[in-house]
Amino acid sequence: MTTSKRLAVRKVEKFEKNITKRGSVPETTVKKGNDYPVGPVLLGFFVFVVIGSSLFQIIRTATSGGMA
C-alpha cells in the first residue's frame, strides 16, 4: 500500500467512526451557562443612568413646586 492510500484509508475509517457517533452527544458538551447578553459593567451603567435620571427628575419636579 502506498502512503497516500494508507492515509486515505485512515481518514475514511475516522469519518465512518464519526458517522456512527452522530446523535449521541453527551449532555456535558451542551452549553448550559448563565451568560448574560450584556456584561455586568454595561448593565450597572445602564441601571445607574436610569435610576439617576429618574431621581434627578423627581428632585427637579419637587423643587419647582410640581409645575413643569
State residue 54's pLDDT score. Answer: 95
Q: What's the rounded mean pLDDT across residues 36-59?
A: 91
Separation of alpha carbons 62 and 24, rounded Å: 64
pLDDT digits (tens, 9 = 90+) for 47-57: 999 999 999 99
Query: Domain boundaries in the chain?
Result: 38-68
State residue 66's pLDDT score. Answer: 62
pLDDT digits (tens, 9 = 90+) for 12-34: 888 887 776 666 666 665 566 66
The CA dihedral of 17, 22, 27, 28, to the nearest 10 degrees, is 40
Separation of alpha carbons 52 and 46, rounded Å: 10
Phi, psi (rounded to 5 degrees) for 19:
-60, -40
